Amino acid sequence: MSGIRTSILSLAALLQMAGATSVLAASSEADFKAAFAAAEAANKEAGALRNQWTVTAAALAGAKKAAEKGDFDLATAQSKEAEALAKASIYQATSEKQAWKALEIR
């Protein structure tokens, strides 16, 4: 049980750190494209682990929509959020591969 609790706390800390990092300077289209590509790559990795989160897809869609409107600050921020969410889902998938063993009756 404590292994799962530790995993959940680690995941929560990761998401909190991701949310705490904001875009301090005005973002350009190039910044958005780089952030979006990183988010898509992380989401693809999460998909390979069969652990994509729907909130990641929503953040990617929001980023794309903001970029289409020319709001690259928002688009970059949402891309970075999507990347953090995808990385958190990767962490969840990999940590739970081992955590379930702690719950197994021996």
Q: Are 15 and 53 in contact (CB under 8 A)?
A: no
- 13: burial class by Cβ within 10 Å (0-12, 13-18, 19+)? exposed
What pLDDT, in 10s, does the model give residues 39-76?
A: 999 999 999 999 999 999 999 999 999 999 999 999 99
pLDDT attached to residue 52: 96
Q: What distance lies between CA 103 and its chain's CA centroid?
A: 27
Angle, alpha carbons 8-12-15 (nearest 5°)? 140
Q: How far is residue 28's CA from residue 103's CA, in Å, rounded to a whole number? A: 48
pLDDT attached to residue 8: 59
pLDDT attached to residue 91: 96
pLDDT attached to residue 30: 96
Average pLDDT value for residue range 10-33: 68
Indicate the residue type of 53.
W
Report the mean per-residue pLDDT for the chain: 85
Average pLDDT value for residue range 71-90: 98
The domain ranges of the chain are 2-103
